[in-house]
């Protein structure tokens, strides 16, 4: 264990010996999912903990991320469900979607969750500071003019939507603002090719909006398996989403009926709203980090060791502000590991291997492990098992929606090293496969598993022959 690490510092100082020296054992900046989990776990281990939040408890995930977005995804599915109901004998009467009702109901749920986060902190004796905290030195923070000290400072401030550049950029909105629009945009241009962009394309199209999505590259979702990317593009186009790849947004200007967006090929789109989802930036600026000696990366991410300690041993960071794996469960995991390391005498570093992820596009994506390209780089020989089919449900509806499933197997060990899916309930199915991969499951073990019939998931244990090698 390196002497300069946060773990070594915690061991030397001992958290039991900080009572007289500091106001708190841990001061957390940012009350998102990771910061709250780290704070309450540290308090459960007996530490004196405070947390500062300048916005709302719960951070991005609860307020303008995972939770409200998933609620909007649920809402957007009803249109197709109503259409499909007739094939199963149901007569559905007049239907109408009301955006204002959905947003109001969503807001009530978010308010309830904010209250739960506050109650969790209160029950664990964590003091809450409402306001922006700035680091003064390695053991001091300032909130609204008040200075307090702590043996350890944790930065868990997350990230923020990247702001676009160019003429009229101020007329666009980000994923923060779209959750609070008073009216549903009838026509929307979505700029970006990450998971946020494809999710909102599906959400708004499902609610009846005319959707155009523009991405600067040849295919969106860079970093995902290529079969996942191509399958989703095909399915989104079937749903009427206008995908324009190898295109960029040049300018936005007001018009009599909304906005006019001009692309680099000269085409002009008249829309009601432009949503820019071009990435997120770690929220590390103007926190006093650099002045305190904390090393930042090129994009402002806090550079940390395997235990979450920065270049200043008493200052730690978890979650999106470190720009490692920007997922809420990862931030929570990192927070739990840090609390155990600093305050329970159990040096524990986060496991970032084979982290499963989902994209709530339409159809949805679930992935865990390596992509095919990564597997071929890492292993001498890789067997690829892939299937595409129409789900049983659509044999009656007639809907031409394809599900794709893919297994990647290291031929030398027979171990499954990647699982990918595009289709209904992909996230629910891949969660189970993530457990199997953590247990180092082999293809032979999947083959020996009896499937549940008839389900989509059974396809993952019935694929017998690998696909032919690509030329």
Helix, strand, coil percentages for the chain (3-state, nearest 5): 35, 25, 40
Tell me how far the alpha carbon of residue 394 is from its chain's centroid: 30
Q: CA 369, CA 312: separation in Å to the nearest integer?
A: 33
- Per DSSP bridges, beta strands 273-276 and 133-137 are unpaired
Q: Which of 77, 180, 333, 453 is catalytic?
A: 453
Q: CA 241, CA 215: separation in Å to the nearest integer?
A: 13
- Per DSSP bridges, beta strands 402-410 and 416-422 are antiparallel
Tell me, yes or no, if 77 is annotated catalytic: no
Question: Which stretches does DSSP call E strand in 19-74?
Answer: 24-29, 49-53
**Nearest-10 Cα torsion for 88, 94, 96, 101:** -90
* Packing angle, helices 226-238 and 195-206, rounded to 10: 20
User: For 467, which DSSP code?
Assistant: P
User: What residues does 268 pair with on adjacent strands?
Assistant: 262
For residues 200 and 275, is the Cβ–Cβ distance under 8 A?
A: yes
Active-site residue set: 453
């Amino acid at each position: 264990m390196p002497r300069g690490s946060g773990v070594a510092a915690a061991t030397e100082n001992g958290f039991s010996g900080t009572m007289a020296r500091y106001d708190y054992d841990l001061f957390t900046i940012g009350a998102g999912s990771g910061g709250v989990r780290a704070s309450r776990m540290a308090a459960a281990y007996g530490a004196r903990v405070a947390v500062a939040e300048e916005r709302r408890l719960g951070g991005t995930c609860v307020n303008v991320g995972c939770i409200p977005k998933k609620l909007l995804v649920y809402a957007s599915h009803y249109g197709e469900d109503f259409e499909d109901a007739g094939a199963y004998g149901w007569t559905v009467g007049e239907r109408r979607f009301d955006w204002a009702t959905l947003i109001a109901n969503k807001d009530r749920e978010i308010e309830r969750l904010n209250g739960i986060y506050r109650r969790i902190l209160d029950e664990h004796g964590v003091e809450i500071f409402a306001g922006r905290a700035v680091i003064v030195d390695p053991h001091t923070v300032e909130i609204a003019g008040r200075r307090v000290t702590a043996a350890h400072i944790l930065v868990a401030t997350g990230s923020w939507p990247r702001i676009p550049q160019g003429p009229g950029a101020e007329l666009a909105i980000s994923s923060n603002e779209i959750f609070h629009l008073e009216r549903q945009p009838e026509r929307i241009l979505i700029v970006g090719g990450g998971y946020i962009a494809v999710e909102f394309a599906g959400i708004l199209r499902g609610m009846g909006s005319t959707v155009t999505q523009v991405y600067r590259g040849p295919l969106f979702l860079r970093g995902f398996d290529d079969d996942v990317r191509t399958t989703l593009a095909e399915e989104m186009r079937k749903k009427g989403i206008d995908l324009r790849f190898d295109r960029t947004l040049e300018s936005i200007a007001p018009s009599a009926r909304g906005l006019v967006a001009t692309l680099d090929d000269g085409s002009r789109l008249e829309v009601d709203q432009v949503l820019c989802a071009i990435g997120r930036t770690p929220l590390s600026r103007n926190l006093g980090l650099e002045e305190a000696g904390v090393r930042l990366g090129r994009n402002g991410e806090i550079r940390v060791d395997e235990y979450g300690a920065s270049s200043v041993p008493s200052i730690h960071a978890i979650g999106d502000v470190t720009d490692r794996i920007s997922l809420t469960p990862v931030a929570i995991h990192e927070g739990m590991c840090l609390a155990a390391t600093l305050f329970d005498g159990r040096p524990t570093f986060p496991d970032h291997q084979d982290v499963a992820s989902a994209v709530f596009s339409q159809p949805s994506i679930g992935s865990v492990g390596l992509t095919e390209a990564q597997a071929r780089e890492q292993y001498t020989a890789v067997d690829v098992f892939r299937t595409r089919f129409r789900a049983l449900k659509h044999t009656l509806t007639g809907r031409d929606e394809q599900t794709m499933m893919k297994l990647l197997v290291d031929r030398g060990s027979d171990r499954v090293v990647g699982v990918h899916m595009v289709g209904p309930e992909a996230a629910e199915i891949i969660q189970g496969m993530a457990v199997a991969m953590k247990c180092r499951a082999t293809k032979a073990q999947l083959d020996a598993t009896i499937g549940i019939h008839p389900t989509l998931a059974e396809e993952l244990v019935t694929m017998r022959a690998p696909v032919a090698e690509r030329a």
